[in-house]
Structure 1
Amino acid sequence: MALVKKLPDDAVFEILTRSSLETLGRCRSISKEWNRVTYESTFHQLLCQRSNIVSGFFIQSLVNSQLSSTFVSLDTDASSTSALSLDFLKVPVQIEAANQGLLVCVNQNNRYLVCKPTTKQWVKIPNPKTKYPTASTALLVLKSNPLKYKIIRFSQAKKPVKRKSEFWRHVRCEIFNSTTWAWKRLKDVILPCKTFFANKEDSVVAANGGLHWLLSDNQVFAFYEDAENWEMFSLPPSAVDNGGHKSKPLLAEYQGRLAVIRSGEEFMDMWVMEDYGRKLWSATRAWNIKKLCGEEIYPSPLAFHNGDAALFMAAFDKVMFYNFQEGKSHKIRLQYHPHQIFKFQSDMEEVNLERPDRVLKLQAKSEEVNMENHPEDIRGLTKFLLPLKGFKPYLFLLLAPMLGVLYRCCSDA
């Protein structure tokens, strides 16, 4: 039996830095070593260069009672903003959710749309029940080619209901499926009256196969789109206690796993979900940020950029990327105070955002145009067949006599 030779680590590194985001996601599940390497700053930088990938954050700010967005990345100059923007939408929009290069936005007329900023593509989608105030929205891209995604929206619909001497709140849950091009309402999520989504400003964290939100009582709310169910579990007690921390607990994704981070005067502590099934946390890292705190007063972590670097809030109108390994910071000045951030990573490839039935019509039209070189009788028959594509089980019975006549005519000729 021939032995399977292992690829050298250098070769694996070179191959992965030239892969697509979808392929990279699959490769990360092959081994822990591959997963670790693909989150390093060096790898991330080469991946963006070689695979033409844009990586950074959309920062949404409140300006004159309206929300505007700015894109920042490590390539953004400290005194200017990046060229990537939402100006192609022509009207002001509010970003609701982001995932794998797509954004869910709402325009000034309260219309929902999905867009891909790197290719300037966008499409309107049906609206959910917008009369109910949005509590939080999440986007999950399931497949890139053909594009499939789901949007999960939670909204406040009812007043608290008293049950067994306690008040409970009903939260509406709706899911938009790009395949069916429609919203579906699930069972209401029932939460204790004093428990709610902590801050709409906090990012939704996709990790360990679920979507995660931090609740006001330091519970984690997890939603699983495949099973369409949810659960709640607690943060690690040491992350909840103050313990010299200046910032509040923040949910984050670290190397594909759910994590909690908090910063103090000299250190940023992190707890990672080591066993998701049993909900076991472990305090795995404590990064020294003394140098960072010397540059800025009480910098607050916002999210991980990759395994070696995180995005911090500094002062009122400034954010910075800080690399823990190198102890280097990259500061970016903003025009306005950040209100909400959305992690963004995208390729430059166009996707088909149109609804599926419209795509089929366009394909049918294209087929009709390409029939110009067909024999006259065949072209006429094909045109007749196109409207009946949806009746495949009965097609043969209906057209069998015509096909027989056509066959005999061709044979005689």
Structure 2
Amino acid sequence: MNALNQHHKNHTRHNNDNENNVVSRIDKLGDDILLLILSKIDSWKLLVQCRSVSKRWNNIIYQPIFLDLISLKFFPFTLYVVNRHKTFLISEHPFFQSQNPPFDLDFHPFCDHKYKLNVIGSYYDLLIYCSPTQYFRLNKQLYYYFCNPITRKYVQIEIPINYNNDGGNLKAIGCTGKLEGISSVKGEGGFKFVRIISRSYFSNDILQVFSFESGKWSTSRITLKFDLRLTSFHSYNSVTVNNKLHWLLYDSILVIDPYSNDISRYRLIELPFPPSLCTLGVCQERLRVAEFAYITGPSFVTLNVWELADYNKSTWTIVCMKVITTTIVHPIIYGPLKKRLEVTFHPYDCDVVYLETETKIVRYNLKSDTFKMVLDEWAVIYPLVNSLVVA
């Protein structure tokens, strides 16, 4: 046994020596050559690890020319987390990681309001806010704000008063296209903001689209072969894929193309399973749905992940089936999964999801079946993907 242990130690020492020799030889290269070598790395996780090799490597990775080289490959992921009392940023982005004190929103327009602006959504590298709820009662003009938290640039648009003060019920929102001058994310088409409003149970829902090119709202009634009044929106914020907006309904996904003006702008994608608890998201530009159910009580939970393999044919493929034991075997999630679960997909790492429960947020690796505490309290997640190179 001692001989085996000694052999293992020698083998490990030999591997470490080889790795150190490789790093030493690479480190002798000039900055320009090392920069090009590092820019060929296709894993954001590995690139982050390379920063810890030496101070020189870290400085090269933070150079603007290097960030420009890799900006088309990487948009680091950020969780903007909001609860009743404060906000948090859990981020892969070097800008947010370097903030000391922690990042805050103490800048115009946020500091100009007596009451707090309400975050209502996110879209790529933008946070979406609306006027304080107190303004509804004061009959003041209401606005939406689209803010880039890194550059602190923002634009605002007026909310049509008639659909807020005469009984309109906002059911869903969404964005698509690129907001020039504010967003660093490349996109196709002019930026559009969409609202879906329900006036009453007996009337059709209303679709409102704001075009940043024209600076105007357009309003139309949603006339479909199916009846949205008989279903409910399980997701308030849309998921944008192929420049189209997607919302999770009770048993299907509603798709709206805001660039079209006829009936073809609407589409339904059927879900691959009976109605259940589920969450809609996107990973590597493909729609994903997390299906969630209990097995014989709250001690065992199934988490199935489906991917829309063929967008045009609405063909789904199951990519992951997990049974999670919510007992003391997994103390991090023991208890919280019993009452509430929302899932946020990592936009690039298909093995990672974030579980948003009644009392905490947990990072779950589907491949290794491991959990990591992100926040030990209740909160709502708004995902962001910010470019490494800020426009």
Per the TM alignment, residue 14 of structure 1 is displaced from its structure 2 partner at its CA by: 4.9
Aligned residue number for residue 384 of structure 2: 344
Aligned residue number for residue 363 of structure 1: none
Aligned residue number for residue 207 of structure 2: 173
Cα 1:268–1:175 shift into 2, 3 Å = same
Q: Which structure 1 residue ranges, 5 or more long, are not aligned?
A: 1-10, 18-36, 161-168, 243-247, 352-413
Q: Partners of 1:113 and 1:259 in 2: how far apart? A: 28
Residue among 66, 74, 86 paired with 2:105:
86
Partner secondary structure for residue 191 of structure 2: strand
Moved more, 108-117 or 203-212: 203-212
Partner secondary structure for residue 330 of structure 2: helix
Deviations 1:103-122 (A, max 9, x none): 22112133222211112222
Per the TM alignment, residue 15 of structure 1 is displaced from its structure 2 partner at its CA by: 4.1
> Residue type matched to 1:98 in 2?
S
Deviations 1:205-230 (A, max 9, x none): 222442211113x1211111232511
> Residue type matched to 1:313 in 2?
E
Structure 2 residue 332 is matched with structure 1 residue 303:
no
Partner secondary structure for residue 193 of structure 1: helix
Per the TM alignment, residue 259 of structure 1 is displaced from its structure 2 partner at its CA by: 1.5
Aligned residue number for residue 399 of structure 1: none
Aligned residue number for residue 283 of structure 1: 318
Partner secondary structure for residue 83 of structure 2: strand
> Residue type matched to 1:255 in 2?
Q
Residues 127 and 146 of structure 2 are in contact (CA less than 8 Å); yes or no, is this contact kept in structure 1? yes
Per the TM alignment, residue 257 of structure 1 is displaced from its structure 2 partner at its CA by: 0.9
Larger of the two Rg values belongs to structure:
1
Residues 176 and 243 of structure 2 are in contact (CA less than 8 Å); yes or no, is this contact kept in structure 1? no
Per the TM alignment, residue 312 of structure 1 is displaced from its structure 2 partner at its CA by: 1.0
Cα 1:175–1:307 shift into 2, 3 Å = same
Residues 205 and 228 of structure 2 are in contact (CA less than 8 Å); yes or no, is this contact kept in structure 1? no
Q: Which structure 2 residue ranges, 5 or more long, are not aligned?
A: 1-34, 52-60, 136-141, 184-189, 294-299
Per the TM alignment, residue 319 of structure 1 is displaced from its structure 2 partner at its CA by: 0.7
Q: Partners of 2:343 and 2:323 in 1: how far apart? A: 17
> Residue type matched to 1:138 in 2?
G
Cα 1:273–1:44 shift into 2, 3 Å = farther
Cα 1:45–1:280 shift into 2, 3 Å = farther
Aligned residue number for residue 222 of structure 1: 255
Aligned residue number for residue 82 of structure 2: 60
Q: Partners of 2:246 and 2:48 in 1: how far apart? A: 24
Q: Partners of 2:323 and 2:247 in 1: how far apart? A: 27
The root-mean-square deviation of aligned C-alpha atoms, in Å, is 3.9
Residues 77 and 93 of structure 2 are in contact (CA less than 8 Å); yes or no, is this contact kept in structure 1? no
> Residue type matched to 2:170 in 1?
T
Structure 2 residue 120 is matched with structure 1 residue 124:
no
Cα 1:75–1:15 shift into 2, 3 Å = closer
Deviations 1:129-163 (A, max 9, x none): 43322111112243656865211111112441xxx
Aligned residue number for residue 362 of structure 2: 320
Q: How many residues align?
A: 295
Cα 1:192–1:309 shift into 2, 3 Å = closer
Normalising by structure 2, report the TM-score: 0.63
Q: Which has the higher contact order (CA 8 A, sep 6+)?
A: 1
Aligned residue number for residue 14 of structure 2: none
